[in-house]
Structure 1
């Protein structure tokens, strides 16, 4: 396995930071704790990037705490987001641009979340392939409880260190992880997790969970994973029960994560397997009813007659 010793120098150029800002701008997003939004940052872009570049060169850069935002979930729970400042998002994106190509090529082929050129549609298609063509119709359906919020910091660094030994880059990762969070006006330390909302958090989660993917592969299990949504596809019910035990032991024992046992279950494809907004059956796939109702409501709103928008404009919004 190739090891990368000297990566920090790749950050130390105006072009690297400018490219990172352009990606951050494409992703949009709200202001962090300093109240500075993307427009304000861009209005003084040259000075902002020059300041960041100097701080990085002199090893004076310090990530700021993220801003806590709470989003209600469909099941009545809450999703906790952590919004970094724009300047921190730029540095995170620059680091991600260096690290992602190093790790992504070796990720498990059935990992689809937050990866270049991959999507939920690809994950669904792979699950359909296993079920319909290869007759792996007993399925373990599971997800992880508060996955991003409970990633172990030492394990994160250990997984990155398998390929990256540049202490300065690993130091930046440590900063992103331990910068803390502002909940209103109250500062809270972060001893675990990588905030949802952080630019580099999806890569961190994929590097972390790839250890699980590879463990299951070596044990002969077929999986499809999209972020923390996991399917294990098996040829029989006993095999599925065994796969669930193997997965739980590794996720909760080795990776210190928590399976959502209320949702984890075995299903046969003749009854339907819910995954990423669809239900996969042995011979067909359909959209889940809540998703379908939401889609119909959105289409109805977008095609109202009293919007005053001409037909070509409506079509462009429906098919951007």
Structure 2
């Protein structure tokens, strides 16, 4: 390190051990093939030769990334899609090796209220801070939405931020090559003028870096901002403070060449109106899944419990448990009665299955006592309400 900047880093990137560890990480995550159609299994079979070739190409400055394959994937709880970039396996390995070297340099500068894509930090950590702020009367919330954030980050400004900490020309060139990768979608290929590809290993780090100034600026001005990637809220004690905070955000966004979504950016008094953050809806003292998360859960339960089913009740319950308990692990902080509602829905759907199977009248569903709640528990159903009670008791036991 010299003059506040890091130099001579490229040799650490192409070190064989770093590439080997990176390859194992990429292969372990599986993932789809890129434009060269090489799968992670194919790469793994030739791992030693592939790593030696990457090492030599990076050492001699002859490595060149290939185009990113772009696919459209559905947005959760929506009929809309969002683009996902899929680099080749070789490019994912090199990006991982690059991140291993430069991430600690930048992460040390990131604000403590930035929680997205950082080691030792999670969505629940961010949600916990929001809870604490709401409990201390920070009830006026700036709920902001950056429109197309990943696709609109100005590349030149982003590279300037990277070069502010790194002076190794070859590392900077490598970052630039990844930012300038062409995109292939079906038969069309082009090079985006701005943005970082969603799905690239390097993108989370770079997207955090670009908003780091906003984190520090808002904190220096005394605002309570909590951010996870491009999703952030600012919690204030008055309407006036919230309005001032929003003006400061607008000022930063203009300077940074970004755009706030006009319809999704607003100030909310959380005592009377809900706001969404990281899949949760907050209103007053209530915490529940946001509408899209709720609907996704409802649709999943319906899909797993059709009127006619050829499998046993126990098999159906086992499928439901895998989904609902995974869902619960994320939404365990919700208000207790939401879990009663999901339990009730599951049991109602299972009773309808049994009524159909036994050819009984479905209109008697609400009056039947043939299949009480205990009947489903005995066959393995894991009640979300009981899971929540156990979770709350575990918290009480730790205090």
Give the CA deviation at 1:309: 4.9
Separation of aligned partners in 2, 1:195 and 1:120: 22
Match of 2:231 in 1: 229
Deviations 1:151-183, CA, capped at 9 Å, x for gaps: 111111111122111111111100000011112
Separation of aligned partners in 1, 2:36 and 2:205: 25
Match of 1:17 in 2: 19
Q: Equivalent of 2:54, from 44, 49, 52?
A: 52
Pairing 1:27-42 to 2, within 5 Å after superposition: 27-42=29-44
Greater mean deviation of Cα atoms: 309-318 or 175-184? 309-318
Pairing 1:271-310 to 2, within 5 Å after superposition: 271-298=273-300, 306=311, 309=315
Separation of aligned partners in 2, 1:238 and 1:148: 31
Tell me the TM-score normalized by structure 2.
Answer: 0.74
Taking only aligned residues, the RMSD between alpha carbons, in angstroms, comes to 2.3
Separation of aligned partners in 1, 2:28 and 2:106: 23
Separation of aligned partners in 1, 2:147 and 2:79: 14
Tell me the TM-score normalized by structure 1.
Answer: 0.92
Match of 1:135 in 2: 137
Match of 2:259 in 1: 258
Equivalent residue of 1:306, what SS?
coil
Is the contact made by 1:148 and 1:195 (CA closer than 8 Å) also made in structure 2?
Answer: yes
Pairing 1:1-320 to 2, within 5 Å after superposition: 2-73=4-75, 74-132=77-135, 134-251=136-253, 253-270=254-271, 271-298=273-300, 306=311, 309=315, 318=325
Give the CA deviation at 1:206: 0.3
Gaps of 5+ in 2: 330-399
Match of 2:381 in 1: none
Is the contact made by 1:96 and 1:200 (CA closer than 8 Å) also made in structure 2?
Answer: yes
Structure of greater Rg: 2
Count residues in correspondence: 318
Is the contact made by 1:128 and 1:280 (CA closer than 8 Å) also made in structure 2?
Answer: no
Give the CA deviation at 1:117: 1.7
Give the CA deviation at 1:84: 0.5
Gaps of 5+ in 1: none
